[in-house]
Amino acid sequence: MTKPIIALDFNTFDEVQKFLGQFDESLYVKVGMELYMLEGRNVIKEIRAMGHDLFLDLKLHDIPNTVARTMAGLGKLDVQMVNVHARGGSEMMRRANLAFKEHNPDGICIAVTELTSTNENMVKNELRSEISLEESVLNLAALTKQAGLDGVVSSPLESPLIHKKIGENFVTVTPGIRMSENRNDDQVRIVTPEHARELGSNYIVVGRPITQSHNPVEAYHHIKSLWEGHNE
Protein backbone atom coordinates (compact mmCIF):
# COMPACT_ATOMS: atom_id res chain seq x y z
CA MET A 1 0.00 0.00 0.00
CA THR A 2 1.45 3.38 -0.99
CA LYS A 3 1.66 6.14 1.63
CA PRO A 4 -0.83 9.01 1.30
CA ILE A 5 0.89 11.77 -0.66
CA ILE A 6 0.90 15.01 1.35
CA ALA A 7 0.36 18.15 -0.77
CA LEU A 8 2.88 20.75 0.47
CA ASP A 9 0.86 23.75 -0.67
CA PHE A 10 2.95 26.36 1.15
CA ASN A 11 4.45 29.69 0.02
CA THR A 12 7.93 29.38 1.53
CA PHE A 13 10.58 26.77 2.27
CA ASP A 14 10.52 27.95 5.92
CA GLU A 15 6.91 26.79 6.22
CA VAL A 16 7.83 23.48 4.58
CA GLN A 17 10.69 22.93 7.01
CA LYS A 18 8.46 23.74 9.98
CA PHE A 19 5.82 21.33 8.70
CA LEU A 20 8.17 18.45 7.84
CA GLY A 21 10.15 18.96 11.06
CA GLN A 22 7.16 17.63 13.02
CA PHE A 23 7.51 14.18 11.42
CA ASP A 24 10.15 11.61 12.33
CA GLU A 25 9.53 9.29 9.37
CA SER A 26 10.00 9.43 5.62
CA LEU A 27 6.97 10.69 3.73
CA TYR A 28 5.67 10.91 0.17
CA VAL A 29 5.06 14.59 -0.52
CA LYS A 30 3.81 16.66 -3.43
CA VAL A 31 5.24 20.00 -4.51
CA GLY A 32 2.86 21.92 -6.73
CA MET A 33 3.00 25.14 -8.67
CA GLU A 34 2.61 27.39 -5.62
CA LEU A 35 5.80 26.25 -3.86
CA TYR A 36 7.79 25.52 -7.03
CA MET A 37 7.11 28.91 -8.62
CA LEU A 38 7.79 30.84 -5.43
CA GLU A 39 10.82 28.91 -4.19
CA GLY A 40 12.24 27.06 -7.22
CA ARG A 41 14.26 23.93 -7.82
CA ASN A 42 16.25 24.10 -4.59
CA VAL A 43 13.14 23.14 -2.62
CA ILE A 44 13.00 19.89 -4.56
CA LYS A 45 16.65 19.10 -3.88
CA GLU A 46 16.30 19.93 -0.16
CA ILE A 47 13.21 17.77 0.31
CA ARG A 48 14.81 14.84 -1.55
CA ALA A 49 17.95 15.24 0.61
CA MET A 50 15.70 14.84 3.71
CA GLY A 51 14.78 11.39 2.36
CA HIS A 52 11.18 12.03 1.31
CA ASP A 53 9.69 10.73 -1.94
CA LEU A 54 8.37 13.49 -4.15
CA PHE A 55 5.60 14.05 -6.70
CA LEU A 56 6.37 17.23 -8.67
CA ASP A 57 2.93 18.42 -9.73
CA LEU A 58 3.41 21.16 -12.32
CA LYS A 59 0.58 20.07 -14.64
CA LEU A 60 2.46 21.07 -17.77
CA HIS A 61 0.27 22.06 -20.72
CA ASP A 62 1.90 23.73 -23.75
CA ILE A 63 3.08 22.83 -27.26
CA PRO A 64 4.89 19.45 -27.42
CA ASN A 65 8.39 20.90 -27.90
CA THR A 66 8.16 23.23 -24.89
CA VAL A 67 6.78 20.54 -22.62
CA ALA A 68 9.33 17.94 -23.78
CA ARG A 69 12.28 20.29 -23.17
CA THR A 70 10.92 21.19 -19.73
CA MET A 71 10.39 17.53 -18.87
CA ALA A 72 13.97 16.71 -19.86
CA GLY A 73 15.06 19.24 -17.21
CA LEU A 74 12.67 17.84 -14.61
CA GLY A 75 13.97 14.34 -15.36
CA LYS A 76 17.33 15.36 -13.90
CA LEU A 77 15.71 16.32 -10.57
CA ASP A 78 15.47 12.80 -9.08
CA VAL A 79 11.74 12.93 -8.27
CA GLN A 80 9.40 9.92 -8.18
CA MET A 81 6.45 11.37 -10.13
CA VAL A 82 5.58 14.22 -12.52
CA ASN A 83 2.47 15.20 -14.45
CA VAL A 84 1.06 17.00 -17.47
CA HIS A 85 -2.48 17.95 -18.52
CA ALA A 86 -4.02 15.28 -20.75
CA ARG A 87 -5.77 18.08 -22.68
CA GLY A 88 -2.37 18.94 -24.15
CA GLY A 89 -3.00 15.96 -26.45
CA SER A 90 -1.32 12.67 -27.24
CA GLU A 91 1.76 14.08 -28.99
CA MET A 92 2.53 16.42 -26.09
CA MET A 93 2.07 13.60 -23.59
CA ARG A 94 4.14 11.09 -25.59
CA ARG A 95 7.07 13.48 -25.91
CA ALA A 96 6.82 14.59 -22.26
CA ASN A 97 6.95 11.00 -21.05
CA LEU A 98 9.92 10.08 -23.27
CA ALA A 99 11.89 13.21 -22.34
CA PHE A 100 11.33 12.67 -18.60
CA LYS A 101 12.22 8.97 -18.71
CA GLU A 102 15.37 9.48 -20.71
CA HIS A 103 16.86 10.90 -17.50
CA ASN A 104 14.63 9.16 -14.96
CA PRO A 105 13.62 5.72 -16.29
CA ASP A 106 12.09 4.62 -12.98
CA GLY A 107 9.97 7.76 -12.55
CA ILE A 108 6.19 7.81 -13.01
CA CYS A 109 4.68 10.19 -15.53
CA ILE A 110 0.92 10.75 -15.35
CA ALA A 111 -1.68 13.11 -16.83
CA VAL A 112 -4.47 15.12 -15.22
CA THR A 113 -7.91 14.26 -16.64
CA GLU A 114 -10.70 16.45 -15.24
CA LEU A 115 -9.70 18.40 -12.11
CA THR A 116 -11.43 17.35 -8.90
CA SER A 117 -12.75 20.91 -8.61
CA THR A 118 -14.71 20.38 -11.85
CA ASN A 119 -18.38 19.40 -11.83
CA GLU A 120 -20.87 18.31 -14.47
CA ASN A 121 -22.31 21.82 -14.80
CA MET A 122 -18.88 23.32 -15.64
CA VAL A 123 -18.18 20.63 -18.21
CA LYS A 124 -21.50 21.26 -19.97
CA ASN A 125 -22.08 25.00 -19.58
CA GLU A 126 -18.61 26.53 -19.30
CA LEU A 127 -16.45 24.16 -21.33
CA ARG A 128 -19.34 23.34 -23.68
CA SER A 129 -18.49 19.66 -23.72
CA GLU A 130 -20.90 17.38 -25.53
CA ILE A 131 -19.99 14.43 -23.32
CA SER A 132 -20.43 13.86 -19.58
CA LEU A 133 -17.69 14.48 -17.04
CA GLU A 134 -17.19 10.73 -16.56
CA GLU A 135 -16.95 10.14 -20.31
CA SER A 136 -14.45 12.97 -20.56
CA VAL A 137 -12.28 11.47 -17.78
CA LEU A 138 -12.37 8.10 -19.53
CA ASN A 139 -11.57 9.61 -22.93
CA LEU A 140 -8.59 11.54 -21.52
CA ALA A 141 -7.42 8.43 -19.62
CA ALA A 142 -7.55 6.35 -22.83
CA LEU A 143 -5.55 9.03 -24.65
CA THR A 144 -3.00 9.04 -21.82
CA LYS A 145 -2.62 5.27 -22.03
CA GLN A 146 -2.17 5.41 -25.83
CA ALA A 147 0.55 8.03 -25.37
CA GLY A 148 2.47 5.59 -23.17
CA LEU A 149 2.14 7.27 -19.76
CA ASP A 150 1.82 5.35 -16.50
CA GLY A 151 -1.54 6.64 -15.31
CA VAL A 152 -3.78 9.59 -14.56
CA VAL A 153 -4.91 12.03 -11.90
CA SER A 154 -8.66 11.76 -11.37
CA SER A 155 -11.18 11.62 -8.57
CA PRO A 156 -11.31 8.25 -6.75
CA LEU A 157 -14.91 8.08 -8.04
CA GLU A 158 -13.52 7.35 -11.50
CA SER A 159 -10.86 4.81 -10.42
CA PRO A 160 -13.03 1.68 -10.91
CA LEU A 161 -14.04 2.64 -14.44
CA ILE A 162 -10.49 3.61 -15.39
CA HIS A 163 -9.11 0.32 -14.12
CA LYS A 164 -11.86 -1.66 -15.83
CA LYS A 165 -11.66 0.08 -19.22
CA ILE A 166 -7.99 1.05 -19.44
CA GLY A 167 -6.27 -1.64 -17.38
CA GLU A 168 -5.65 -2.76 -13.80
CA ASN A 169 -1.99 -1.70 -13.98
CA PHE A 170 -2.81 1.82 -15.14
CA VAL A 171 -2.19 3.99 -12.08
CA THR A 172 -4.85 6.30 -10.59
CA VAL A 173 -3.55 9.13 -8.41
CA THR A 174 -6.51 10.68 -6.65
CA PRO A 175 -6.88 14.01 -4.80
CA GLY A 176 -10.18 15.36 -3.49
CA ILE A 177 -9.85 13.41 -0.24
CA ARG A 178 -11.97 14.60 2.69
CA MET A 179 -13.33 13.09 5.87
CA SER A 180 -16.85 13.95 6.97
CA GLU A 181 -15.57 16.45 9.55
CA ASN A 182 -13.48 18.37 6.96
CA ARG A 183 -14.64 21.30 4.85
CA ASN A 184 -14.83 20.64 1.10
CA ASP A 185 -12.85 23.84 0.36
CA ASP A 186 -12.72 24.18 -3.45
CA GLN A 187 -12.99 20.43 -4.09
CA VAL A 188 -16.17 19.09 -5.69
CA ARG A 189 -15.67 15.36 -6.38
CA ILE A 190 -14.66 14.30 -2.87
CA VAL A 191 -14.22 10.89 -1.24
CA THR A 192 -13.03 9.58 2.16
CA PRO A 193 -9.67 7.74 2.39
CA GLU A 194 -11.32 4.37 3.07
CA HIS A 195 -13.75 4.82 0.17
CA ALA A 196 -10.80 5.71 -2.12
CA ARG A 197 -9.19 2.38 -1.15
CA GLU A 198 -12.45 0.49 -1.82
CA LEU A 199 -12.69 2.19 -5.21
CA GLY A 200 -9.20 0.94 -6.06
CA SER A 201 -7.22 4.19 -6.16
CA ASN A 202 -3.48 3.50 -6.27
CA TYR A 203 -2.46 6.73 -4.53
CA ILE A 204 -4.34 9.39 -2.57
CA VAL A 205 -3.21 13.02 -2.43
CA VAL A 206 -4.17 14.95 0.71
CA GLY A 207 -3.38 18.59 1.46
CA ARG A 208 -5.40 20.81 3.77
CA PRO A 209 -6.95 18.05 5.92
CA ILE A 210 -3.34 17.44 7.07
CA THR A 211 -1.48 20.73 6.56
CA GLN A 212 -4.22 22.91 8.11
CA SER A 213 -4.91 20.51 10.98
CA HIS A 214 -4.04 21.62 14.53
CA ASN A 215 -2.08 18.35 14.78
CA PRO A 216 -0.73 17.43 11.32
CA VAL A 217 1.12 14.30 12.50
CA GLU A 218 -2.00 12.90 14.13
CA ALA A 219 -4.15 13.85 11.10
CA TYR A 220 -1.66 12.15 8.75
CA HIS A 221 -1.61 8.93 10.78
CA HIS A 222 -5.40 8.90 11.05
CA ILE A 223 -5.80 9.30 7.27
CA LYS A 224 -3.02 6.75 6.63
CA SER A 225 -4.70 4.14 8.83
CA LEU A 226 -8.10 4.72 7.17
CA TRP A 227 -6.44 4.43 3.75
CA GLU A 228 -4.66 1.22 4.77
CA GLY A 229 -7.84 -0.17 6.33
CA HIS A 230 -6.62 -0.47 9.93
CA ASN A 231 -9.35 1.59 11.56
CA GLU A 232 -12.48 -0.35 10.69
Per the annotation, binding residues are: 9, 30, 57-66, 116, 178, 187, 207-208
Distance CA 227, CA 192 (A): 9
Which residues does the annotation mark as catalytic? 57, 59, 62
Which among 12-20, 70-78, 143-151, 204-212 is the span making contact with ligand OMP, rule CB under 6 A? 204-212
Q: Which residues pair with 57 in a beta bridge?
A: 32
What separation in angstroms does the CA of 87 have from each of 142, 184, 225?
Answer: 12, 26, 34
Nearer to ligand OMP, 7 or 79 (CB): 7
Q: Are strands 81-85 and 5-7 parallel, antiparallel or unpaired?
A: unpaired
Q: Which residues pair with 204 in a beta bridge?
A: 174
**Neighbour count for residue 179 (Cβ, 10 Å):** 15
Pick one of 48, 94, 103, 208: the residue that binds ligand OMP (CB under 6 A). Answer: 208
To ligand OMP, the closest distance from the beta carbon of 152 in angstroms equals 10
Number of residues that bind ligand OMP (CB under 6 A): 20
Site for ligand OMP in 90-109 (CB under 6 A): none
Distance CA 210, CA 219 (A): 5
DSSP strand E in the chain: where? Answer: 5-7, 28-32, 53-60, 81-85, 108-112, 151-153, 171-174, 203-206
Per the annotation, binding residues for substrate are: 9, 30, 57-66, 116, 178, 187, 207-208
Which among 16-24, 89-97, 172-180, 193-201 is the span making contact with ligand OMP, rule CB under 6 A? 172-180
Residue 74 in contact with ligand OMP, rule: CB under 6 A: no
- Sites of contact with ligand OMP (CB under 6 A): 7, 9, 32, 57, 59, 83, 112, 115-116, 153, 175-177, 185, 187, 205-209
